[in-house]
Copies of this chain bind each other. A is one copy, B any other.
Amino acid sequence: MQQIADAAGVSVTTVSHTMSGKRPVNPETATRIKRLIEEFGYVPDAGARHLQSGRSRMIGLAVPDISNWYFGRIARGVEEMADELDYGLIVCSTFNSDPRREKRYFNMIRTRMIDGLVYTAGRQISEMNELEKVAASSPVVLADEGIDRLSSLPWVTSENLEGARLVAAHVRQLGHTRAVIIAGFPGLNSTIERVAGIREYFPNALVLNGDFEMQSGYDLVGDLLANDFPFTAVFGCNDLMAIGAIRRLREHGLRVPEDVTVVGFDDIEIASVITPGLTTVHQDVVTIGRTSARLLIDGIEAGSFDAIESVVVPVDLVVRGTSGPVAS
């Protein structure tokens, strides 16, 4: 910047002001300075700005694993909105809540490397106390998954309860009565709500807890089959577990949907690609990401979350080929 000032024969003060527009500058001088800036390809140093302003115009996004399709969609949404509001994004995979990694990202707030954090809980939150401490003094928004202990924070989630009701009503209407629920981690709100929604229609449904991976759907169904447990419908609390369940059923010689109906939750890319397509609940994940970023940045710029309202994003039932009438 000194270079520009020298070349233009003015002070750095004036250069700074022509860039920011925060005080009037002689039009001719301004034009000259702007041309020089263009010519030199000058851009202000981020570190200096940051030090001076105390703001980095960067937000963080913590997800369990960025290479998971679902979290990738959230990241996409957060990035879109951050970009629109002229913020940069630092992505932090917590690698399924590795405490060391989580701490590291919480430190990014403390060092003021980022102005705020969108936090997406994976399974158990290992560093809950840390998160609580950070959230007490810095902007944090919870995406995808609310956390009871942090109920004061703004959050953005899907209509989990309603989604579960929709898909359960659909399966019930097909005549099924003996259902099994492959649920997620017991402590998560989404798990609790989805199970509750399904149980409104299947009060006696057996609940098994998986880990949201395909393998656990496969294994849990295997256990049921090995014990001759009777059921005609399987509710996966996410699509991956539902798909694992389908594989296991097929290996056992059962047809989907003729013998067993299987439904999921999420509507991930794979759900529409497999044959037959998976009946599931569509979540608008990009919108969850976008909204989270907007709430966070609104809060950062307002200096408080007092006026920020949490958001529930609607879901849709998507009926494809894995659900059918109960075998008579």
Chain B residues within 8 Å of A32, by CB:
none
A128 to B69, CA, bound (A): 29
The stretch of A197-205, A220-228, A270-278, A309-317 that contacts the partner chain: A270-278
A260 to B113, CA, bound (A): 55
Is A56 among interface residues, defined by CB-CB distance under 8 A?
yes
With contact pairs A66-B66, A66-B79, A273-B243 given, residues A48 and B51 touching in the complex (Cβ less than 8 Å)? yes
The stretch of A86-94, A154-162, A173-181, A319-327 that contacts the partner chain: A86-94
Contact, CB under 8 Å: B88 / A76? no
The stretch of A4-12, A103-111, A164-172 that contacts the partner chain: A103-111
Chain B residues within 8 Å of A89, by CB:
90-92
Is A294 among interface residues, defined by CB-CB distance under 8 A?
no
Chain B residues within 8 Å of A303, by CB:
none
The stretch of A15-23, A39-47, A141-149, A185-193 that contacts the partner chain: A39-47
Is A269 among interface residues, defined by CB-CB distance under 8 A?
yes
A76 to B44, CA, bound (A): 31
CB distance from A325 to the nearest CB of B (A): 23
Is A50 among interface residues, defined by CB-CB distance under 8 A?
yes
Is A72 among interface residues, defined by CB-CB distance under 8 A?
yes
Is A68 among interface residues, defined by CB-CB distance under 8 A?
yes
Interface residues of A in 35-68 (CB under 8 A from B): 41, 43-51, 54, 56, 58, 65-68
Residue in contact with A111 in the complex, picked from B44, B111, B274, CB distance below 8 Å: B44
Chain B residues within 8 Å of A81, by CB:
none
Mask: chain A, 93-106; 1 = CB below 8 Å from B; 0 = not: 10000000100100
Residue in contact with A69 in the complex, picked from B45, B50, B269, CB distance below 8 Å: B269
CB distance from A121 to the nearest CB of B (A): 19
Chain B residues within 8 Å of A91, by CB:
66, 75, 79, 89-91
Given contacts A66-B75, A270-B270, 19 further A-B contacts (CB under 8 A): A43-B107, A43-B110, A46-B50, A46-B111, A47-B51, A47-B54, A47-B112, A47-B113, A51-B51, A58-B90, A65-B76, A66-B72, A67-B69, A67-B73, A83-B104, A89-B91, A269-B270, A270-B273, A274-B275
3 closest pairs, A vs B, by CB? A47-B50, A67-B76, A47-B51
